[in-house]
Amino acid sequence: MKKLLVAGILSSSLFLAACAAEDNTADQPDAAKEADVKEETPVVDTKASLVNFHLTIIDNFKDEYQTYLAYNAAVAAYDAAVASQTDAEVAEEDKPTAEDLAELQTAIDEAKAAAQGIAAASAEEIRTYAVPSELEAYEADITAALDELAKFYEALEANIDDAETANAHFTAFEEKMGAIFVGEDLPAPSYANAMK
């Protein structure tokens, strides 16, 4: 009987201890709620946001950049045709005629009008481009890079044949955006290759 009494007392003691421990955790709901709130705070993935922004720039300005490339290709085709007229290795029947050269000049004029026609609108759109809030830490750097891209299009509008000036702005744009990527341990992108 004493053993049963001791076992009953032990069981009651364990039961009371368990109830007391449960009451202590019930008294601390604020701490648990604070921990839950901390876990719910979203973590900004800067790398993903930067890559998404990069892809948005490419999507929005790829066609405009390609009109510039089309102009360069038309000029290169004309220059090659003119050079082939005096090339002794080119057979006489393969040399371009005056009609061929006129067609190539028309292609240059059309490509030039297209590239210069969209340049002003492109520069304006770039200058009003919004930097995503996730990239707030890089806003000044991104804005400076986009300013170079806008200057590229402004240079095309002013004088599309001054490739040196335009390309210097495009290169500066790529370098500034590349520095941001490198700062996030990502490889610097080549916008020129991506927008071809």
Q: What is the mean pLDDT of residues 68-75?
A: 95
Contacts of residue 90, Cβ cutoff 8 Å, sequence gap at least 6: 84
Tokens 């004309």, residue? 78
Query: In this predicted structure, what is the pLDDT of residue 88?
Result: 86
Query: In this predicted structure, what is the pLDDT of residue 32?
Result: 52
**Cα 108 to Cα 14, 26, 60, 82, 115, distances in angstroms:** 93, 80, 24, 14, 10
Residues 53 and 87 in one domain: yes
Query: In this predicted structure, what is the pLDDT of residue 38?
Result: 54
Phi, psi of 112, deg, nearest 5: -65, -45
pTM of the predicted model, to two decimals?
A: 0.74
Q: What is the mean pLDDT of residues 160-171?
A: 95
* Residues 38, 137, 173: CA angle, nearest 5 degrees: 150
Residues 136 and 160 in one domain: yes
Residues 30 and 104 in one domain: no
Nearest to 162 by CA among 130, 126, 115, 196: 115
pLDDT digits (tens, 9 = 90+) for 97-114: 999 999 999 999 999 999
Residues 33 and 50 in one domain: no
pLDDT > 70: percent of the chain: 78
From CA 124, how far away is CA 126, in angstroms rounded? 5
Residues 23 and 62 in one domain: no
Structure tokens of 184? 């996030």
pLDDT at 45 over 70: yes
Residue 28: Cβ within 10 Å count? 9
Q: What is the mean pLDDT of residues 129-155?
A: 95
pLDDT at 166 over 90: yes
The boundaries of the domain holding residue 84 are: 46-194
